[in-house]
Amino acid sequence: MQFLSVIVLPLLAFMVAVLFLGLSRKITARIQRRYGPPLYQPVIDVVKLFTQEENISHGPVFDLGVMLALGGSVAIVLFIPVGGMLGLSSSGDLLVVIYLMLLPPLGMALAAGASANPNASIGVSRKLILALAYEVPFLLAILAVMIYGKTTSLMEATQSQQSSVLAWGLFRLPLSALATFLILPAMIGMRPFDMVTAPQEIASGPLVEFGGKYLAIASLQSALHLYIVIALFVNLFLGGGANAGTFLAKVLVVFVAVLLINAVYPRFRMDQGLRFCWKWPGLLALVGLIIAMVSRG
Amino acid sequence: MLVAVILSTAFLGALAVYFAGKLSPRVRNVLAVLVALTVAILTAFLYGHKAQVDYYTIGFLDVTLSLRTNPLAWFFAMAITGIGLCSIIFSLEYMKGKERLDFYYFAMLLVNASMLGIVFSGDLISLYIFWEVMSWSTYLVISYKGGKAAAAGLKYMIMSVVGSCAMLLAIVSLYAHYETIDISRLSTAMQSASAGYALFILLMCAIGFGVKNAIMPLHTWLPDAHSEAVSPFSAVLSGILVRMGVFGLLLIMYGVLTPRMLDKLGAGMLSFSYILCWVAAITIIIPTFTALLQDDSKRLVAWHTVGQGGYMIMGIAFGTTLGIAGGIFHVLNYGISVTLLFLVVGAVEHRTRGQRDLNQLGGLAKRMPLTFFAALCGICGFIGVPLTGSFVSKWLIYKTLIVEGYPFLAFAALIGTWGTILSVYKLLHNIFLGQLPEKYKDVKEVPFSMQLPMIVLSFAILLFGILPGIPLKAIGRIQSSLGLEPLQASLFAMPPEVGELNMVNILAAVAAGCAVAYLIFRLCRKSRRVPQSDTYAAGSYAPADKYQYSANFYERVYQVIEPYVRDRVDAFYYWVVEKSEGLFDGIRKVYTGNLNTYALYIILFLGLLAVLKLALR
Amino acid sequence: MIEVEEQQKNKIAANFENGEVTLPRKGRLVVTISKESLCSLLLFLKMDGFEHLSLISCVDWLGEGELELVYHLWSYQKKIHAMVKTRIDRESPHFLSIIPLFRHAQTYEREIYEMFGVRFEGNRRLIPFLLDNWQGAPPMRKDFDLRKYVKEKFDVEERAE
Amino acid sequence: MDRAQIRKILKSPGKWGQKYSLWVVYFCTGCGIIEIPPVITSRWDAERFGVIPVATPRQANLFLITGYVSLKTLGAIIRTYDQMPDPKYVVGFGSCPINGGMYWDSYNTIKHLDKYIPVDGWISGCMPRPEAIFIAVTHLWTLIDKELANGYKRYKEEYPYYEENQRQVLPHLPKFTGAGET
């Protein structure tokens, strides 16, 4: 069964990711009182991009960077348990997942740098600064979870929350959960924090020279990253779900919640984003960590 | 017996190279490589030996100086000889055309030999002798280029003299107390020592070794010395020479004072190792974020040497099996990565006629592909990306910090990693990515003799990442030799009770992911390559040399963190220097130079004595 | 309510004899003056509250063989728009630049140089402004045959007159 | 989505993709750009047709030339058209690109857009309403279906003709990079 989950997890992730893209455009459209594209619009976009007659590349580093980005995302998906399916999470705990989440941004940064365009370099430097911004509260929250469960393994952290609804991370470590929820848009790169791929300011940042299959791979990777971040949040704070069904329901709920924030918020300036992330979520996560330390003795 | 052979070949080899240089440069180069190679191979044979041989007895102190081999010595010796060999091979081509090369190769081999001496020394006096030989030979090589390098060398010399004096004080007091300076006998004698005395010895040695390993308050010499020294030597300097401090700490904390003594030291929370952990935590954060704001490539890498030293000290100071294993393993991993990055920066400097300013370079990946690949492996080694050895050693350190329940230390280490990512990507981006400037259009790849060490080191980073069992087995032997409970790691995974880490599975996952990506990539149409000028510039044509974003790359972060990261410690030292110069200037005025003032001083002194005599009676 | 304009008109007439001042309507004041004393008039008006130079325009009097430069000034307190006109020769049109008085006049002078060919001494940036690598004569002059230029440049087929 | 449509999609997914996801380069070439914001926002919502504005030509496959084209803008339009990946369509928007419109005798605007870059569709009217744009988009669908929207192929084959026209109007224009120059 576990070997099968190594195959099922990526496919599940791809489908959920593409569904999320379609859903996000539909819900944002409905919030803006317009019809919006059909739900399968991302499928059309990806098919169009893949079957384009001409793809423009900027050299081997450009290609390798894009491939590393998608490969890294697919690899991370294997380490996040979904309901019953554990995938490879027996051979890589939470620390491995955090460090594996460095691979896709590194791949995108390489590709963006190789595309020799200042817009892309500005996008990458904004991406790294934003990452520094949301890592402070994110790490504090994750440390709170690990200290509370006295383990660094993602499986154990999820199992310990399965006993009852009250055992969820949300109720045991409310402040850390809130802090992580506040920075979810930053980790995904959605509206309040989408200064990285800002079409108006820096011509869609790192994606400025991505066309055809490169843009398709980049959008698949960002969708997968969206799924990974929310799946991690559900595993850590919402008790991970007994089977895949409940897990995906929780992921959908969290996604719609983040989407509602995304649809109505304007974009942060870079230093506003940095100060916001270090101030409110950072404070909450710090207090949550102290509570976790004290309550765990 | 083999130890004496190794040390003698190393020292005599250095001399032979110097005189061979008088004959002909080619002979000297070949001989230098030969000496480094033989020393490396001979140390490899030492695996598993445990022997102690006395080589000299000092008459009036009736104390015998001895050399000994144990797994700890072997581990560090392998690192020393490996990195020394790589830098020697690299400097064959790099130093071509520079003057005083005989002296340079002699000093390089002398530094390597003295480091070997430290590692193999069986007693504290010979350790101190080799320590001094290493210090001043390092000074010789740092100030090799003269000018600013001489000033950096002087600064280094002053701080390492302070460190050596502290160490000498500890050794003399140990000798006075226990009549012996042999490390093994000392460790048995030290059990009966009082806590205060043990703390004093530990403090003195910590200062001595801390200066060398650039722990936070004593770190200011390192950025100047490493950025002014010649690249191959700053590779050795950052790679392994600075880690002699870690070796010394290990020797004193676990060789002389056994862990039982260490627990006795502290009163509850305020034990020595806990304070050392916090000093290490600060050493991780502040230098790494200072590196973020540097514009000189070598200075950026040098600041990381200070920062990453914190991980090693934190691992060792923590005392659990995982912590020490992580600390020692990180010494090796970071040593390889920083040597690789310094060689890469040296190669770029060599090809772009001495250009180190990150704002002037760009786009060199197209012209120097192999150096770019080596730089990529190097920065993955710095960050600890999952398929590199640094990841395993950092994982071990985080694991102990979290399981033992020290989240804030773990947070400091994790945020240090993010500081490394930002600054190290800036290094890679400003040198290798972006637009290639006009004046570097004809830059060629470095010759093979410079590529070989870079290839070997990149391979080593990836090998220790995928199969961490190889070094971890040697580290397990070190822990058992130091009397600690060793870490039994299999070839590529951690035992279940330690934690869930299986590097081959991670490699398989990443490889599978990249295979899927490559398949998707291959199914679509072949892509057309465009030159770097054909890039989006809002409808206009990309201006030739002005279309690169690299100057103040992290300007937004600069405003927020600059006040916290300004180097106040360095400013304090310079303030002290200023004030003391004024003071000594005042005292100097006593020597007026004409005779009668001296006569006056003598009379006054005699008068003072007479008064004292009367008063006493 | 005309007295503000009246006062202004008398003030100008007092100081500048050869400037004829007319008040076509409320809030509008037209002064035509010789090119020698134009700068002094501009300085006088600027001191007198007309601190805003909104535009410099040029009219091509082909019949009289002259180009007319019109300086549009606006006074915020008096709410008067003063149009100071002067005539310069059409064959070799050159005039003094008023950048010392109004720094932003540089762009207006640049446009008039490009469209009418009037050289302004003292303006260092008389370089092409709106047109792209323009080779022909200044296009806004009356003697510039538009139709012929368009037919020859874009070789458009004959359009019914 | 009856059976025939699904078979059509599976037969040529490329065309299906190109039709229902036309990404427009958000490049304001002339006065017509003021019509684009209402088209893409709530009232007329071009996203139902899969038409979204994108920031760079690399990501786009539809280029809307809105309003008169001055000589300076023509240089930028040709440059942007070069940078778009291959299946690309150009739609002239408004009467000025068709025959010069009210600027028919101006010395600074071009009169016939299709002498300089291949145009696949025209929308007449001096600033046509957003509904006209949707009609143009649906027409473009049928053209794509019947393989008639091949302006980019024409541009490659008859490049000397286009280049000669362009050089006559913009003498300093560098060479087209898409013609196989690696």
ipTM: 0.88
Q: Over pLDDT 70: what percentage of chain B?
A: 99
Give yes or no for a contact between B393 and B329, defined as CB atoms under 8 angstroms apart.
yes
Q: What is the DSSP letter of B46?
A: T
**Structure pTM?**
0.90
The domain total for chain B is: 1
Rounded to a whole number, what is the distance in Å from the CA of A19 to chain D's nearest CA?
Answer: 16
Torsion (CA) B414, B419, B422, B426 in degrees, nearest 10: -140
Report yes or no on D82 lying in a domain.
yes
Give yes or no for a contact between B561 and B289, defined as CB atoms under 8 angstroms apart.
yes
D138: domain CATH number? 3.40.50.12280
Report the amino acid identity of residue B247: F
Beta-carbon-side half-sphere exposure of residue B162 (alpha carbons within 13 Å): 14
Beginning with the edge strand found earlier in the chain, give each strand of the sheet holding D89-93 in spatial order. Answer: D52-54, D23-25, D62-66, D89-93, D121-123
Token reading at D125? 């009217």
Tell which residue, A106, A123, A100, A17, has the closest CA to residue A69. A106
Query: Residues A110-125: pLDDT tens digits?
Result: 999 999 899 999 999 9
Q: What CA–CA distance (Å, rounded) separates B340 from C7?
A: 84
A33: left (phi over 0), alpha (psi -120 to 50) or beta: left
Give the lowest-confidence range in A9-13, A226-230, B440-444, B537-541.
Answer: B537-541
For residue D55, give its domain range.
20-169
Between B56 and B351, whose confidence is greater? B351
> What 3-state DSSP class applies to A293?
helix
Q: What CA–CA distance (Å, rounded) separates B415 from B187?
A: 37
Q: What CA–CA distance (Å, rounded) separates B538 from A281?
A: 38
Backbone dihedral angles phi then psi of residue B99, each to the nearest 5 degrees: -95, 170
DSSP per-residue string spanning B199-229:
HHHHHHHHHHHHHHHT-GGG-THHHHHHHHS
Query: Which chains does D contact via 3+ CB–CB distances below 8 A?
Result: A, B, C
The verdict on a CB contact (< 8 Å) between D55 and A48 is no
Residue C159 in contact with partner chain D when CB distance is under 8 A = yes
Give yes or no for a contact between B329 and B395, defined as CB atoms under 8 angstroms apart.
no
| Greatest CA separation for chain A | 63
Q: What CA–CA distance (Å, rounded) separates C161 from B457?
A: 81
Geometric angle at alpha carbon A74, from A72 and A78, rounded to 5°:
110
Q: How confident is the model at residue D180 (pLDDT cuts 50, 70, 90)?
A: very low
Burial code (b: 16+ CB inside 10 Å, e: under 16) for B232-267 equals: bbbbbbbbbbbbbbbbbbbbbbbbbbbbebbeebee
The residue ranges of every structural domain in chain A are 2-296
Give yes or no for a contact between A240 and A161, defined as CB atoms under 8 angstroms apart.
yes
Tell which residue, A240, A233, A253, has the closest CA to residue A188. A233
Q: What CA–CA distance (Å, rounded) separates C153 from C150?
A: 5
Give yes or no for a contact between B465 and B386, defined as CB atoms under 8 angstroms apart.
yes
Q: What CA–CA distance (Å, rounded) separates A140 from A148?
A: 12
Q: Which residues contact D60 (CB under 8 A, 6 or more apart)?
A: D23, D24, D25, D54, D84, D88
On the question of pLDDT at D32 being above 90, the answer is no
The H-or-E segment that residue B51 falls in is strand B51-58
Residues in D closer than 8 angstroms to A25, CB to CB, are: 47
Residue C150 in contact with partner chain D when CB distance is under 8 A = yes
Give the lowest-confidence range in B60-74, B250-264, B365-379.
Answer: B250-264
> If contacts are CB pairs under 8 Å, which of residues 92-151 in chain D contact chain C?
100, 104-108, 110-112
Tell which residue, D134, B414, B465, has the closest CA to residue A102. B414
CATH number of this structure's domain C3-133: 3.30.460.80
Q: How confident is the model at residue D179 (pLDDT cuts 50, 70, 90)?
A: very low
On the question of pLDDT at B134 being above 50, the answer is yes
Contact pairs from chain C to chain D, CB under 8 Å: 39
Looking only at the bridges linking them, the beta strands covering B63-69 and B51-58 are: antiparallel
Between C135 and A189, whose confidence is greater? A189
The verdict on a CB contact (< 8 Å) between D86 and A34 is no
Query: Residues C137-146: pLDDT tens digits?
Result: 889 999 888 8
On the question of pLDDT at A87 being above 70, the answer is yes
Q: Which residues contact A59 (CB under 8 A, 6 or more apart)?
A: A114, B365, B366, B529
Q: Which residues contact C19 (CB under 8 A, 6 or more apart)?
A: C12, C13, C31, C32, C33, C37, C41
B53, β-bridge pairs? B67
Report yes or no on B605 lying in a domain.
yes
Residue-level pLDDT at A1:
67
Report yes or no on B181 lying in a domain.
no
Of B530, B539, B540, the CB nearest to D177: B530
Query: Residues A194-246: pLDDT tens digits?
Result: 999 999 888 899 999 998 899 999 999 999 999 999 999 999 999 888 888 99
Geometric angle at alpha carbon B393, from B390 and B394, rounded to 5°:
80
Residue-level pLDDT at C57:
95
Q: Which residues contact D104 (CB under 8 A, 6 or more apart)?
A: C150, C156, C159, D111
Q: What CA–CA distance (Å, rounded) separates B325 from B344?
A: 29
Give yes or no for a contact between B213 and B249, defined as CB atoms under 8 angstroms apart.
yes
Q: How confident is the model at residue A253 (pLDDT cuts 50, 70, 90)?
A: very high
B576, β-bridge pairs? none
Give yes or no for a contact between B3 and B53, defined as CB atoms under 8 angstroms apart.
yes
Sign of CA dihedral A115, A121, A122, A125: positive
Rounded to a whole number, what is the distance in Å from the CA of A93 to chain B's nearest CA?
Answer: 6
Q: Which of D12, D20, D82 to mutate to test the interface with A (most CBs of A within 10 A)?
A: D20
Q: What CA–CA distance (Å, rounded) separates B259 from B483?
A: 8
Q: How confident is the model at residue C2 (pLDDT cuts 50, 70, 90)?
A: low
Tell which residue, B354, B351, B418, B410, has the closest CA to residue B383. B418
> If contacts are CB pairs under 8 Å, which of residues 51-70 in chain A contact chain D?
51-56
Query: Residues B278-305: pLDDT tens digits?
Result: 999 999 999 999 998 889 999 999 999 9
Residues in chain B, overall count: 617
Between A265 and A1, whose confidence is greater? A265
Rounded to a whole number, what is the distance in Å from the CA of B429 to chain D's nearest CA?
Answer: 22
DSSP per-residue string spanning B430-476:
HHHSSPPPGGGTT--PPPHHHHHHHHHHHHHHHHHHH-THHHHHHHH
In D, what residues contact B, Cβ < 8 A?
A: 27, 56-58, 75-77, 79-80, 82-83, 174, 177, 182
The verdict on a CB contact (< 8 Å) between D72 and C132 is yes
Q: What CA–CA distance (Å, rounded) separates B63 from A8?
A: 70
> If contacts are CB pairs under 8 Å, which of residues 447-466 in chain B contact chain A?
none
Rounded to a whole number, what is the distance in Å from the CA of C147 to chain D's nearest CA?
Answer: 6
The domain total for chain D is: 1
Q: Which of A35, A48, A200 to mutate to test the interface with D (most CBs of D within 10 A)?
A: A48
For residue B597, give its domain range.
572-616
The verdict on a CB contact (< 8 Å) between B534 and D174 is no
Which whole number is the average pLDDT over D93-112? 88
> If contacts are CB pairs under 8 Å, which of residues 84-113 in chain A contact chain B?
88-93, 95-96, 98-100, 102-103, 106, 109-110, 113
Residue-level pLDDT at A74:
94
Sign of CA dihedral B194, B199, B202, B204: negative
Token reading at B59? 């008459």
Q: Which of C145, C149, C150 to mutate to test the interface with D (most CBs of D within 10 A)?
A: C150
Q: What CA–CA distance (Å, rounded) separates B502 from B494?
A: 7
Residue-level pLDDT at B368:
92
